[in-house]
Structure 1
């Protein structure tokens, strides 16, 4: 399984039990390192926090090192996933998303899945995916 598909599968989990099962499977079957974080709030307020949250999650989980050749591709993959997740979304929209990071030998992927709405009656799903070479 490629890292992008693995990251999206992990981001699509509905609860912690599913998350743990997928993480275990990805580690045992593909030796992928993984971490999941969640980000939510009003778009104009969280836009700058997403990259920081993803980088912090990856470093704190020990799946990437605090080195430019690890952080640089992670930031680019995060920005790519963010573009898909937040495309054409008004700044006053509320958004909540699960972000999965999967690291393989040569590639990493950041997948985002969640919901957005300007009003509670306009809630709908969104997703984004970014993949970069390490």
Structure 2
């Protein structure tokens, strides 16, 4: 009867060793998978950075065009022109740098100046909303007499 508990203890040790071995293999494969996915994503983004740079440059052009609506308000127009200059610089930076470098710089800037990031996000939303509004189709019943009551 004394040999049976010893055999069970040995079986549990063997089982635990097997499970630990499987866990180690799974963890290593998981790390390899994550690294491969990260590498694949970075390569994909680096390949598409030309498209991203063009999109940012197009947005800069739209912002610059939007600034023309503020001819009578030079301070607001200067602000939009400055934003357009910044976007053009960003487009050039995206084209010239790797995704990893750009991401690290953006992350560092967001840590240093969270208020600036929040303001930039708000202004970008404002500009995009103006752009969408200006390019949207006219309402179907715009000739209806009550449609101008807001």
User: With structure 1 as the length reference, what TM-score do the two structures score?
Assistant: 0.23
User: With structure 2 as the length reference, what TM-score do the two structures score?
Assistant: 0.21
More helix by share: 2
More strand by share: 1
Which fold has the larger relative contact order, with Cα–Cα distance below 8 Å and residues 6 or more apart in sequence? 1
The structure number with the bigger radius of gyration is: 2
